[in-house]
Amino acid sequence: MNNNSNFKSLSLGQQLAVKYFSAAMLLFCAQMVFGLVAGLQFIQPDFLYQTLDFNVTRMVHINAMIVWLLFGFLGSVYWLVEDEAGTELVGYKLGNIGFWVLLTAVVIVVVVYLVVQIGPGTQSSLWFINEGREYIEAPRWADIGIVAVMLIFFYNIAATFSKGKWSGISGVLVLDLLALAGIYVAGMFYTTNISMDQFWWWWVVHMWVEATWEVLVACIMAWGLIKTIGASRQIVTTWLYVEVALMFGSGILGLGHHYFWIGTPEYWLGVGGFFSALEPIPLVAMLVHAVYDAGTKNLKVTNHPAFAWFIAHVFGNFLGAGVWGFFQTLPQVNLYTHGTQWSASHGHLAFYGAYVTINIAMFYMAVQKFRGNIDMGSNIQNKYRWKTSMVLLNVGALGMTIALLIAGYEQAFIERAVGGSTWSGYFAAQSDSTFISSMNWRMLFGVLMTIGTFFLAWDLLTIGKKNKEEILKTA
């Protein structure tokens, strides 16, 4: 049975999910390549200077990450919606149009980024070239396209659950998807007051990542545990509700840790410092309770790669978003660490632990069904591939995190504490041997992580093929 017939054997929602997963994996590889180029330019600033400048490679690296994670999330929800609703996907054709619109927009935006690297900021450039706002640089026409695709996505999922059946997971998911589309609008206008502009800009940068995305992955996690280990729906749903309740405090009020130094009222110092590190707690509790519950019922996992990545997600989320975030969330500490590599250390581990891992878990869930529901347990062929990719990705991510943390600590001490946030302090920190060594180590671990990414792509393309061939021969 070839890949085409495998694809056609899937339901409509799953077919759409495979398209999103495929695009996500390609963008993941692109993100890693541009990350390597940016890392090398940080060490050797002359590399590709005035051909592909650092500000462009960094921008494409970060934007590719945001977009591929979004593709992965959309694919994950399309994959689970029919199973959770008990009916076929509503609006498949509209959803397919949304996929091609989003993919086309991403390609055009990246090409424009690479071709038009410098130029004046005008109304026309804001609409068609680059909005010029960090992390959400996409021009205005692309912003409108993203919101339109999110609304299509919301309709597909809400209508499917309305046609089928509702559950605790589906109710939380649909409400979260509405917020996913609505909050992005906060980044589609700007003001001439920089404090006010930053106030709304952080709604997108923070609220997408630390509110709507966290709830979204909690829904995916809940469904994934039910399917991989037969966890109790009552348990995972209970912890999902706890996650939502905490999100009102930790995810929304935790926004305040971005408001420390942009000219907002002083009360944000206390509010932001207190609420920022709570959101991963219910996810850890959900996994521990679910595994314990399944263990009392003779736990049997039929998809080892997916389950391993679910575990990596929970503890990666707790470490990256929780522990590493708490390192610098108190205003007394953040005064010295904000804008240093300390922030980059938190960002790398938080995105990897909270979002990369769960997308990879869902990739393996999809591959198992794509191969005909084969057993991907201990007897899977060439298991070294998924294990190698997992080791390389985890070691690479943790290594980069620690290297950046050391560099950030050095910056906080030399540039901020000793240098008093002066230009002389900045250059002294940048030229310090510890900082340079840390950047070299960051590059090394980035290479390991990139190798792991391509190992992952290889494994996803081949895992289960030999097992299925053996099954067909004996049939």
* pLDDT(114) > 70: yes
Cα–Cα distances in angstroms (integers) from residue 371 to residues 8, 88, 310, 387, 466, in the given order: 12, 21, 20, 19, 10
Q: What is the torsional sign of CA 388, 394, 396, 402? A: negative
Work out the pLDDT band at 368, boundaries 50, 70, 90.
Answer: very high
* pLDDT(60) > 90: yes
Tell me what pLDDT residue 279 has.
60
Burial label for 171, CB within 10 Å (0-12, 13-18, 19+), is middle
Cα–Cα distances in angstroms (integers) from residue 169 to residues 45, 104, 151, 156, 242, in the given order: 48, 31, 19, 16, 12
Q: Which residues partner with 303 through β-bridges? A: 376
Nearest-5° angle of CA 445, CA 451, CA 453? 105
Distance CA 279, CA 426 (A): 34
Tell me what pLDDT residue 317 has.
84
Average pLDDT over residues 284-311: 74
Tokens, residue 46: 């002359």
Tell me what pLDDT residue 472 has.
43
Tell me what pLDDT residue 322 has.
78
pLDDT digits (tens, 9 = 90+) for 262-275: 888 888 887 877 77
Return the closest-CA partner of residue 150 out of 200, 105, 117, 115: 105
* pLDDT(50) > 70: yes
Average pLDDT over residues 28-43: 95
CA dihedral 357, 363, 369, 372 (to 10 degrees): -120
Distance CA 262, CA 259 (A): 6
pLDDT digits (tens, 9 = 90+) for 133-156: 888 888 999 999 999 999 999 999
Tokens, residue 74: 């959309």
Q: Decide: 389 and 459 in contact? Cβ < 8 Å.
A: yes
Tokens, residue 158: 């809400």
Calculate Rg over the CA atoms of the chain: 22
Mean residue pLDDT across the chain: 87
Tell me what pLDDT residue 277 has.
61
pLDDT higher at 446 or 464: 446
Tell me what pLDDT residue 205 has.
84
Average pLDDT over residues 458-462: 93
Average pLDDT over residues 188-208: 85
Low-confidence winner among 34-48, 76-90, 115-129 (lowest mean pLDDT): 115-129
- What are the residue boundaries of the structural domains of the chain, listed by start? 10-165, 324-475
Tell me what pLDDT residue 293 has.
61
Tell me what pLDDT residue 229 has.
81
pLDDT digits (tens, 9 = 90+) for 218-262: 899 889 888 888 878 888 888 888 877 777 667 677 788 888 888
Instruction: Please report, as a single letter, which amino acid is at residue 400.
Output: M
Return the closest-CA partner of residue 72 out of 34, 26, 111, 130: 26
Tell me what pLDDT residue 474 has.
42
Longest alpha-carbon distance in the chain: 74
Average pLDDT over residues 2-29: 89
Tell me what pLDDT residue 475 has.
42
Distance CA 314, CA 286 (A): 9
Work out the pLDDT band at 295, boundaries 50, 70, 90.
Answer: low
Work out the pLDDT band at 389, boundaries 50, 70, 90.
Answer: very high
Tell me what pLDDT residue 241 has.
86
Work out the pLDDT band at 383, boundaries 50, 70, 90.
Answer: confident
Write the DSSP symbol of residue 303.
B
Work out the pLDDT band at 286, boundaries 50, 70, 90.
Answer: low
Average pLDDT over residues 288-314: 76
3-class DSSP state for residue 376?
Answer: strand
Q: Decide: 382 and 390 in contact? Cβ < 8 Å.
A: no
Backbone angles phi, psi at 408, to 5 degrees: -65, -40
Q: Decide: 240 and 218 in contact? Cβ < 8 Å.
A: yes
* pLDDT(444) > 50: yes
